[in-house]
Amino acid sequence: MAKLTIEELRRIRDEAKRSRTLREGEGKARITVHMGTCGIASGAREVMNALLGAIDEHGIQDVLVTTSGCAGLCSHEPMATVEYRDTPPVKYAKLTPESIVRVLLEHADKGAIVREHALAIGSEKMS
Amino acid sequence: MKELALHILDIAENSLRAGASRIDIEIVEDPAEDTVRVAITDDGRGMDEETLKKALDPFFTTKDVRKVGMGLSLLRQAARRTGGDLRVQSRPGEGTAVTAEFVRSHIDRQPLGDMASTITAVLLQNPAIELRYHHAIGADGFTFDTSQVRSVLDGVPLSDPEVLQFIGNLIRERQQLT
Ligand SMILES: Nc1ncnc2c1ncn2[C@@H]1O[C@H](COP(=O)(O)OP(=O)(O)OP(=O)(O)O)[C@@H](O)[C@H]1O
Ligand SMILES: [Mg+2]
């Protein structure tokens, strides 16, 4: 683990400033993690954590992460929605720290829906 | 909820949704008095008397996707299970203070859990938030304040993944020393 000093924070700042110019624009995908009470109780925070860790680890620059409240499908939490370029949003259900990383690397980064974990509108399994 | 830190995240979600620009999270553990007091204070839109009264009713929510709200009543249940209780003070246009008190040694008192992840999850959602987090156990304690890092960051958002990792590690390290 890097040392937790002001110097380290300055280094992170300078690096972020440098890479931000490359990052201009909208980004190719957005992942929205649902953070209502049911989501939080069933593991949304850990899913979010894994997602941020993987984005950092893989140096992914053009995937945005946001959050939303409860989506009304409490028994399917933790959930996340992926919007990749102009394709329709896909909801993923019962996510784990492992499956969200797959969703990040395959769908948000490369555009391939991870059907195993996807949930179509109307709660039907895709595939 | 398995951890107090998850309740705290859930209550802070309410603050974010209420448009808060400042959130104060305070955890005071008093071994002598055998209490843990958790207080989350925000400067969001607040609640009028009627909303406040209903807020603790598990069948009330102002959300439109679902008919029941659970966050506050769940925390109240958790506090009461230990012999403690929950108090909510709020004023429209000024903000809200949620205080939960627990009996520290009670078998049902949830562990504090991963506060570092709770704080970074809040910052990710509103990188412009002014957040202060204070944790004390008896005479020991530490404070994290977003103003400490923001002054160094010079416009780089707190939601930057590397910045969030840094803040998470900082809180984790301090927590261990407490
Ligand atoms: N900090 C706050 N500021 C303003 N209003 C609040 C605050 N906290 C709670 N409320 C009001 O009280 C209601 C109940 O809150 P509670 O957390 O119990 O349920 P909820 O947020 O509606 O749903 P969820 O189960 O996802 O938490 C909210 O819908 C909101 O109207
Ligand atoms: Mg809530």
What confidence tens digit (pLDDT) does each residue in B78-130 have? Answer: 999 999 999 999 999 999 999 999 999 999 999 999 999 999 999 999 999 99
- Tell whether omega for the bond before A78 is within 30 degrees of 0, i.e. cis: yes
Span A26-121 CATH architecture: 3-Layer(aba) Sandwich (3.40)
**Contact at 8 Å (CB) between A6 and B152?**
yes
pLDDT for the residue A40 = 94
Return the domain boundaries, chain B: 4-177
How many whole angstroms from B90 Cα to the centroid of ligand 2?
15
Q: Is residue B26's pLDDT more than 90?
A: yes
User: Who wins on pLDDT, A13 or B69?
Assistant: A13
User: Who wins on pLDDT, B141 or A70?
Assistant: B141
User: Who wins on pLDDT, A95 or B68?
Assistant: A95
- At which residue do the structure tokens 């992914």 appear? A60
pTM for this one? 0.91
Residues with CB under 6 A from ligand 1: A 36-37, 70; B 10, 14-15, 18, 42, 44-47, 51, 55, 61-63, 69-73, 96
Largest CA distance in chain B: 46
Cβ B1–A40 below 8 Å, yes or no?
A: yes
How many whole angstroms from A85 Cα to the centroid of ligand 2?
31
Q: What's the CATH code, domain B4-177? A: 3.30.565.10
Cβ A69–B161 below 8 Å, yes or no?
A: no
**Contact at 8 Å (CB) between A43 and A79?**
no
**Contact at 8 Å (CB) between A99 and A92?**
yes
pLDDT for the residue A120 = 66
Q: What is the DSSP-derived secondary structure letter of residue A105?
A: I
User: Other C-beta atoms within 10 Å of A119: how many?
Assistant: 18
Tokens of B129: 């938030």
Mutate to test the interface with A, among B98, B119, B162, B167 (most CBs of A within 10 A): B162
Q: What is the ipTM of this complex?
A: 0.86
Tens-binned pLDDT, residue by residue, of chain A (127 aa): 456 789 999 999 998 888 765 555 568 999 999 998 989 999 999 999 999 999 989 988 889 888 988 777 888 999 999 999 989 999 999 999 999 999 999 999 999 999 999 986 434 444 3
